[in-house]
Structure 1
Amino acid sequence: MSDNLSNKFRLRPMEKADLEVISHWFQDPEDVALFDRTSRVPLNQFQIEESWKAVFTAEGAGCKCWFVVENSSGEAVGLAGIESVSLVNRDAVVAMFVDKSARRTGVGIRATALVVDFAFRQLGLNRLTSYYRADNTSSRDLVARIGCQVEGTMREAWFADGQFHDMVVVGVLKGDWAKRRDALAAELSDDTQVSLGPNASAAWTWPPKCKSG
């Protein structure tokens, strides 16, 4: 990606029609097993629709929120979501997946930071949890940059590639994020931007010092 336009991404609410577009992401068992401990076999279209149906119901709206990450051409290049929202405990699980075609572009860290902002500023949550396979260094480095702290290791809790892997549990509190947010924004260049919605203001663009347009 060389020109400014191609480095602009946006988050928008996930739609049912997106399932057909992103279905090929769930066809690579090795890749999926690196990011999702529940996936073991490639999913067909019906199975994908069944596994995601709660996202599109009124009941599901209160406990999960998923966004599609689009490039400047309107092509889906990733997913970012908030799962298992508890309004009583004011916590949730944050998840991020980037298609192989868009990895190493910086979109993952920016999209995740934007979702974390959304969780704390818009949903009023106080804590976010995430999990990763111990050998997944990309996920490890991403959540560390967000300010997540390692809170424990579930030994041999993730089976993939014929062996058991440890699963690392991390968490970030609203107070942690308040301390980390400005430093992370300063670390990230304006060359790549991720915005929430088609007409996002600078307040909903990451890095937040960017101006929309």
Structure 2
Amino acid sequence: MTAQEQVELTALILARNWQAVKNSLDLIHPDKLDAQGYFAKGFLLAFGPASQRNFADAIHCLETAHRLEPANIQYLNTLSEAYLQAKRPAVALRVVTMANNLEPGNLFSTIALGRAAWFCGEKELSLSAFGEAYRLTPPNLSALKEHLQAISFSLAPVWRESRHGKRAALVRMAPKHRAFLMSCRRNTKFQHRYHLFQDSSNEAIERDLQSTNHSPLETKRISWIVEKDGDPAGLAELVDLNLNNSRAEILVGFPEEQPFGISLEATLLIMEFAFSKIGIHKLISYVYGDNPKSQRNTLHLGFQQEGLLKSHVVDPASGERLDLYINGCLSTEFFQNKTLMKLASRLLGRVPEPNNAKFSGKIKNQLDIASMITNLPLILAKDGLVE
């Protein structure tokens, strides 16, 4: 194949003109196919019309192209993607690792590494690769850059890490906490203060425990167990997590009376996570009207009462109608509250700092992390960047 023919064939592939690609390949005798010819044929079989795809044959062609030109990064990246499409992520990861070793800093190889690592369950490697890809992406490729930013944010360790104060800690809820969660859900006095309408059935508890395996950006909530001296003591959550509007509802409660400061310390840990770590703009707290002590404590934590919904909810146990207080706290108010900052210094051992990261509206609540990673090739294609 002449150099001009190679250029023309590559242009047809980038244009997704599959029939023209097939016609061009049909003109070449199989014995005369060179590396670019095998690459084009493999690309067509892997990513062409769905009815004509054959991953086994595609991989054979792409492997042949790589064997003929082992230093060609494009062939390796495409071969890795073909293995992913064939649901062989471990081989895809091995292939794309070769590409990254051959040419460190190649944007396409770095993205391919992140994808292969994710589908192999190597989340730390995936996060590292997508973070590097974000840094490698030029500003003019805004759609790709925003997509990579969203993926990096979704994979960040902050979502999985425990939060520690001097005496209390927030530990991500997990199946090992089943017995404690069950005891809380079936403690009617506690649930009346914490959440009147949570389902206490075994099925609901199992469903909630299983949801902790998913990203909080998918479930729109993050649940912790509050530990004191390593033992479960309470529950804490951010629910209705809405990144588009940068807000969430805060919940924290203890089934048993705690020493002074433990509840305050746990609440400060949640507020620090929300405002300092993930950059939430506003926290909302709802308090039932028959719990004046909780409402006073909420206001002492820097929340402001924004409304009172009279006779708004019905206690399912007693049938009594209850008022509902609506309280809000902005991140700016939190960081400017000198009393809270002094309490944080004393109870957490540090002063929370503002999160200045600005996330684009492209970080959509309806996009889960698996979809974002799966859809990366579509983003590349829209930008005309498919190699």
Q: TM-score, normalised by structure 1?
A: 0.76
Aligned partners of 2:345 and 2:350: how far apart in 1? 16
> Which sits farther off after the overlay, 26-35 or 142-151?
26-35
Query: Is the counterpart of residue 58 in structure 1 residue 215 in structure 2?
Result: yes
Query: Is the counterpart of residue 134 in structure 1 residue 134 in structure 2?
Result: no
Select the structure with the greater relative contact order (CA < 8 A; seq sep ≥ 6): 1
Q: Paired residue for 1:203? A: 350
Deviations 1:144-196 (A, max 9, x none): 1221111111221222233101001110011111122x312435895xx4x5x
Extract unaligned runs of 5+ from structure 1. 1-6, 196-201, 206-213
Among residues 255, 260, 270, which one is paired with 1:99 in the alignment? 255
Q: Paired residue for 1:199? A: none
Deviations 1:117-149 (A, max 9, x none): 110111111101110101212321221122111
Task: Say which one has the larger Rg.
Answer: 2
Aligned partners of 2:285 and 2:249: how far apart in 1? 6
Extract unaligned runs of 5+ from structure 2. 1-165, 353-387
Aligned partners of 1:111 and 1:83: how far apart in 2? 16
Q: Paired residue for 2:37? A: none
Change (3 A) 1:165 1:52: farther
Q: Paired residue for 1:209? A: none
Specify which structure has the higher proportion of strand. 1
Q: Paired residue for 2:194? A: 35
Aligned partners of 2:206 and 2:227: how far apart in 1? 20
Query: Is the counterpart of residue 81 in structure 1 residue 240 in structure 2?
Result: no
Contact 1:20 1:45 in 2 (8 A): no
Among residues 175, 179, 182, which one is paired with 1:20 in the alignment? 179
Aligned partners of 1:115 and 1:59: how far apart in 2? 14
Contact 1:55 1:64 in 2 (8 A): no
> Which sits farther off after the overlay, 25-34 or 84-93?
25-34
Task: Give the CA deviation at 1:44.
Answer: 3.9
Identity of aligned residues (%): 20
Query: Is the counterpart of residue 9 in structure 1 residue 164 in structure 2?
Result: no
Count matched residues. Answer: 185
Q: Paired residue for 1:211? A: none
Q: Paired residue for 1:69? A: 226
Change (3 A) 1:20 1:131: same
Contact 1:154 1:167 in 2 (8 A): yes
Aligned partners of 2:289 and 2:237: how far apart in 1? 21
Q: TM-score, normalised by structure 2?
A: 0.44
Aligned partners of 2:244 and 2:343: how far apart in 1? 34
Q: Paired residue for 2:323? A: 166
Task: Give the CA deviation at 1:53.
Answer: 3.8
Change (3 A) 1:187 1:116: closer
Pairs within 5 Å for 1:115-154 = 115-154=270-309
Change (3 A) 1:52 1:140: farther
Q: Paired residue for 1:4? A: none
Aligned partners of 2:308 and 2:341: how far apart in 1? 29
Aligned partners of 2:333 and 2:263: how far apart in 1? 20
> Which sits farther off after the overlay, 44-53 or 163-172?
44-53
Task: Give the CA deviation at 1:88.
Answer: 1.0
Specify which structure has the higher proportion of helix. 2
Aligned partners of 2:188 and 2:196: how far apart in 1? 11
